[in-house]
Amino acid sequence: MTLEELDKAYVLHTYNRNYTNFVKGEGSTLFDENGNDYIDFASGIAVNSVGHNNPVLVTALQNQVEKIIHISNLQVIEPQAKLAEQICKLSRYDGAIFFANSGAEANEGAIKIARKYGETKFDKKRYKVITLEHSFHGRTITTVKATGQESFHTPNFSPYPDGFSYVNGLENVYANIDDETVAVLIELVQGEGGVQPFEKAEIQALAKYLKAHDILLIVDEVQTGIYRTGKMLASNVYEIEPDIITMAKGLGGGVPIGAVMTKHKDIFLPGDHGSTFGGNYLSTTAGLAVLEVLSALDDGGQLTETLAYFTVKLQEIAKKYPNLFDAEVGLGLMRGLRVKDNDTMKSIIAKSMENKLIVLSAGRNTVRFLPALTITIAEIDEGFTRFEKALNSI
């Protein structure tokens, strides 16, 4: 069997796969089985935050594998405690953290925190969570229902949990709050929803209102967190302090990990929540190595320089090809080009792959760019050279 035949025979068909077989990566360059090189502007959908084969991450994992990979959370796990400390310090957040294995699990944990808060804080139970249209919060039954896209709420997986609703725009949150509302769950930049940032003043006004009315603000930073938008958290960029923040993707540099951080440190009691694998030696060691690399880039100013350079290159493309693109959107190294129609967007992504450049799609007909935060200027230049070749072939 070929690899494609093997995959189609034995793997559930939940993705429309490209069957290029990558066998090695260096930085933001991938190599297939035939030795062809590809510039990676996707980083595993914002996961490979420190690039492929990063020596700091590789060495940390090798050293840890030789000692302990996993024990249960019934024992204290040193790198877990140290990673929790680092996340809180780097984000300047006075909170406590529960570690899971994914962004969906982190959001599940956030919803459980909110539900317990609504049960124990008030005389009358509060349980409803408001989200936004175009949002994306995960693939579990609960986080699918929290996702503000009706296309995800198919009858195939119904019935869905009660207590979730979504509204069109921040300005419509206020009118939909009632005496059973416990939380508002938002992304500060909607990734799957078109790489769309919200206005800072609107976010700050909402945060202030919710705090005044004892309603929790949950910020889903599964994609925006871990320096993706220029600071440790997008919440830092927006200068807000949510009640609950979720993280995943870039935190492990490719090793699965999720985290939910809250200022309500005593909300959970033993037995309220748990995870067999969450926060084990391997994943939290990875997290510590990733934060070591990225915090150094941030402190030294290289991250700011990379963000600025990538932004300029993207803006140049948007101006040069007004027949293809309506707008350049995003924040930090979470960027997008809004395409005039869906068929053209699909063609751009396919042609980019033909020219050995990996880019992604997002909602609202958006070509999405999520390169590693360690990407070099040379890799950025080569990637955009290949991107232009793709555009010129359409």
Q: What is the mean pLDDT of residues 124-143?
A: 97
Backbone angles phi and psi of 349, in degrees to 5: -65, -40
pLDDT band at 178 (very low <50, low <70, confident <90, very high): very high
Question: Alpha helix (H) ranges present in 233-376?
Answer: 234-238, 281-300, 302-320, 342-354
Domains and their CATH numbers in the chain = 3-54+301-392 (3.90.1150.10), 57-299 (3.40.640.10)
C-beta separation of 387 from 351 below 8 A? no
**Of 133, 237, 250, the residue nearest 193 (C-alpha):** 133
Confidence of residue 236 (pLDDT cuts 50, 70, 90): very high
Burial pattern 4-33, b for ≥16 Cβ within 10 A else e, equals eeeeeeeeeeeeeeeeeeeeebebbbbeee
Question: Can you tell me whether residue 244 is helix, strand or coil?
Answer: strand
The model's pLDDT over 359-381, given as tens digits with 9 standing for 90+, comes to 999 999 999 999 999 999 999 99
Number of Cα atoms under 13 Å in the Cβ half of residue 114: 31
pLDDT the model gives residue 226: 98
pLDDT at 29: 98
Query: What pLDDT, on a 0 to 100 scale, did the predictor assign at position 38?
Result: 98
pLDDT of residue 273: 98
| pLDDT tens string 328-365 | 999 999 999 999 999 999 999 999 999 999 999 999 99
Q: What is the pLDDT of residue 60?
A: 98
Neighbours of 217 (CB within 10 A): 23
Q: For all residues of the chain together, what is the average pLDDT? A: 97
- pLDDT interval class at 58 (50, 70, 90): very high
State the average pLDDT over residues 118-143.
97
pTM assigned to the model: 0.97
Give the pLDDT band (50/70/90) at residue 55. Answer: very high
pLDDT tens digits, residue range 224-235? 999 999 999 999
Sheet of 258-262, strands arranged across: 96-100, 258-262, 244-247, 216-220, 181-186, 128-132, 164-167
pLDDT band per the 50, 70, 90 thresholds, residue 46 = very high
Q: How confident is the model at residue 293 (pLDDT cuts 50, 70, 90)?
A: very high
Query: Helix 55-65 vs helix 281-300: angle between axes, to the nearest 10 degrees?
Result: 160
How confident is the model at residue 34, as a pLDDT?
A: 97
